[in-house]
Amino acid sequence: MDAMLDPTVLQTLWFALIAFFFLGYFVLEGFDFGVQMNLAAFWRRGDDARGTLLKTVGPVWEGNQVWLITGGALLFAAFPEWYATLFSGFYLALLLLLLVLIVRVCAFKWRDKVDSARWRTSWDVVHVVGGFAPALLWGVAMSNIVAGVGIDENRWVTTSLLGLLNPFALLGGVVFVLLFWLHGTLYLTLKVDGALREQANRLAGILVWPTIVAGAAFLVWYQLTHSHSGLTWIPVLIAAVALIAVAALNRMRKEGPAFLATITAIGAATITLFGGLFPYVMPAVNDPANSLTVMNASSTEHTLTLMLIALCLIMPVVIAYTIWAYRVFRHRITDEDAPAPGAQLLERAKRGYREAFEQD
């Protein structure tokens, strides 16, 4: 086998770890995006109802972003050539994504700072954009990464910004939007009650069908024309079965299993994309010799070893914290005027902190 396509065990492991962190990000932040998108679907219920929707992700959305930050940092450290080449061609798209995510933070933090319906409505518009835009941009970016772009001998991306907006990438963007929207809607069925819960269930029953059609078209197109492995047909089939199961489970009002099914679909789709990409990290469509692989884009074995040791110490803490946070904030919101779940616990912690530092 060509040495460029014969990675070491450590290089393969780090590729899998980066895929794992992005999978975790898409699953967790995916329903955050979906909840924000649903502010548009629930718009006529007023800003109180929209505030209730935001309370369902209020305690956890910041923690969900940790998976992206960690995944990006690991990508930079483990595969610096991949990181550098990626930004050489995706700079404007990634900058736009970053700006949207920053404004999205402002929307979460500032929405309830002023007691004004117009103020809250304005930030709700930002929330809707902050849900749709990142999902679309992630879909377009991931599609171009796995399908390949033009790369010159200096490892600079030569594909233009308009070139990134090709039919395959745009379909990927639509699939990400639909899948995250469906995911976030099913999350709402677990977190709200009453009329909001019923509307979320009805909306999920509608969204699942275009998601199945678009998702099937995208993954089959990818598998037939861009994937480097026949084994990734397996997660493609798993994703298809999971989405079909969502339709059946939603009809039976099995809300928990339906939400788990969308988690399975997102996980299987992510495995399909990364599994079909391996052993490449950025294929060059103009000249295969310019392609980046896990072999020629990685750090040294010594660096990868030290990073693995550090990750083994840190990752259990991240996973344990994530599990703890979701356990604390697991309750439904039944009253539109009620505080976010776990708010009393948070207030006690803040009071204890103030008392500790105000002592003489």
Given this model, what pLDDT does residue 245 score? 96
Contact between residue 184 and residue 36 where contact means Cβ atoms under 8 Å apart: yes
pLDDT exceeds cutoff 60 at 47? yes
226-247 average pLDDT score? 95
Q: Is residue 349 part of a domain?
A: no
How far is it, in rounded angstroms, from Cα 143 to Cα 41?
Answer: 27
**Angle (deg, nearest 10), helices 9-41 and 47-55:** 160
Given this model, what pLDDT does residue 326 score? 87
What are the φ and ψ backbone dihedral angles of 193, each rounded to 5 degrees?
-140, 175
Residues with Cβ within 8 Å of 137's Cβ and at least 6 positions away in sequence, in order, are 93, 96, 97, 100, 173
Given this model, what pLDDT does residue 151 score? 92
Of the candidate ranges 114-128, 204-218, 327-341, the one whose mean pLDDT is the lowest: 327-341
Whole-angstrom CA distances from 109 to 65, 95, 104, 123, 281 are: 15, 21, 9, 10, 36
Contact between residue 98 and residue 29 where contact means Cβ atoms under 8 Å apart: no
Most confident by average pLDDT, 41-45, 89-93, 272-276, 320-324: 272-276
Tell me the pLDDT band of 211, cut-offs 50, 70 and 90.
very high
69-94 average pLDDT score? 89
Q: Is residue 356 part of a domain?
A: no
pLDDT exceeds cutoff 60 at 205? yes
Given this model, what pLDDT does residue 161 score? 82
Structure tokens that stand for 33 in this block: 């995006």
Number of residues that make up the chain: 360
pLDDT exceeds cutoff 70 at 176? yes
How far is it, in rounded angstroms, from Cα 236 to Cα 214?
Answer: 13
Q: Is residue 353 part of a domain?
A: no
Q: Give the distance, in angstroms, between the CA of residue 326 and the centroid of all CA atoms in the same chain.
A: 17
Q: Which tens digits make up the pLDDT trace of 249-265?
A: 999 999 999 999 999 99
Mean pLDDT of the chain: 88
**More confident: 37 or 340:** 37
Q: Which tens digits make up the pLDDT trace of 151-161?
A: 988 888 988 88
Tokens 């505080």 belong to 339
Tokens 């998108």 belong to 37
Q: pTM for the full model?
A: 0.89
Tell me the pLDDT band of 337, cut-offs 50, 70 and 90.
very low
How far is it, in rounded angstroms, from Cα 323 to Cα 346?
Answer: 17
Contact between residue 274 and residue 226 where contact means Cβ atoms under 8 Å apart: no
Q: Is residue 154 part of a domain?
A: yes
Given this model, what pLDDT does residue 317 score? 85
pLDDT exceeds cutoff 50 at 1? no
How far is it, in rounded angstroms, from Cα 216 to Cα 239?
Answer: 9
Given this model, what pLDDT does residue 352 score? 60
User: Domain count of the chain?
Assistant: 1
How far is it, in rounded angstroms, from Cα 297 to Cα 314?
Answer: 24
97-103 average pLDDT score? 89
* Domain range for 30: 3-343
Given this model, what pLDDT does residue 339 score? 52
Contact between residue 42 and residue 203 where contact means Cβ atoms under 8 Å apart: no
DSSP state of 115: -
Tell me the pLDDT band of 37, cut-offs 50, 70 and 90.
very high
pLDDT exceeds cutoff 90 at 146? yes
71-90 average pLDDT score? 90
Q: Give the distance, in angstroms, between the CA of residue 351 and the centroid of all CA atoms in the same chain.
A: 34
Coil/strand/helix, residue 275: helix
Q: Is residue 282 part of a domain?
A: yes
Given this model, what pLDDT does residue 274 score? 96
How far is it, in rounded angstroms, from Cα 89 to Cα 93?
Answer: 9
Given this model, what pLDDT does residue 321 score? 84
